[in-house]
Amino acid sequence: MNSHGQDGQQNGQSGQRVVWTVVRTDIGPLLLAATEDGLVNVVFHASEAVRDKAVEALAARLGTEPVEAPDSPLLAEPIRQLAAYFAGERHDFELPLDWTLVSGFNRQVLRELAAAVPYGALVGYGDLAARVGQPGAAQAVGAAMGANPLPVVVPCHRVVESDGGIGGFGGGLETKRHLLALEGVLPQPLF
């Protein structure tokens, strides 16, 4: 089922639908994209230019043209759960996830992160590497976090440096700080 042709056309031929919308959040606009299998992509800072690039990339990777569909039932639950998360009412996402955009070591690490690092907790890059049986792979874990197609929902913001540094973040450090403050790990930024 998961064997894609060289150009990813297989999904398109199987009638895979990809729907997307942009939602306003405390950390700016997020693009959410979903397939029949689940949420497939979350993109930070979804200005028009970022949005167009993300939709283009999804079309290339999934072999089908994503459709803007804010009212799609495939997006209803992700929209609802993200709103509850930013309102401080939800700590865990219970969403079907489509892992198509990530494979191998990156997928293994991200699945472990999603399953085992709860709201308000932090994990070091090296610790996460050890949890998937690759204790020397802290840098590879960093790369996996940078390649996370499902940020916020798969909580790469909870991965930090073992010396107490905040570490990098695809959405920018201000966004990472905001998410950690929301979860009570860091004090709320003053400005």
List, by residue number, the catalytic residues: 156
Nearest one of 147, 46, 150 to 96, comparing CA atoms:
150
Nearest one of 109, 111, 115 to 127, comparing CA atoms:
109
Beta bridge partners of 41: 33
DSSP state of 28: S
**Tokens, residue 80:** 């609802």
Q: What whole-number distance in Å separates Cα of residue 70 and Cα of residue 67?
A: 9
Residue length of the chain: 191
Q: What whole-number distance in Å separates Cα of residue 24 and Cα of residue 45?
A: 10
DSSP string, 124-136: EHHHHHHHTT-TT
Contact between 110 and 150 under an 8 Å Cβ cutoff? The reply is yes
Q: What share of the chain is helix, strand, coil (3-state, %, to 5)?
A: 40, 15, 50
Contact between 62 and 7 under an 8 Å Cβ cutoff? The reply is no
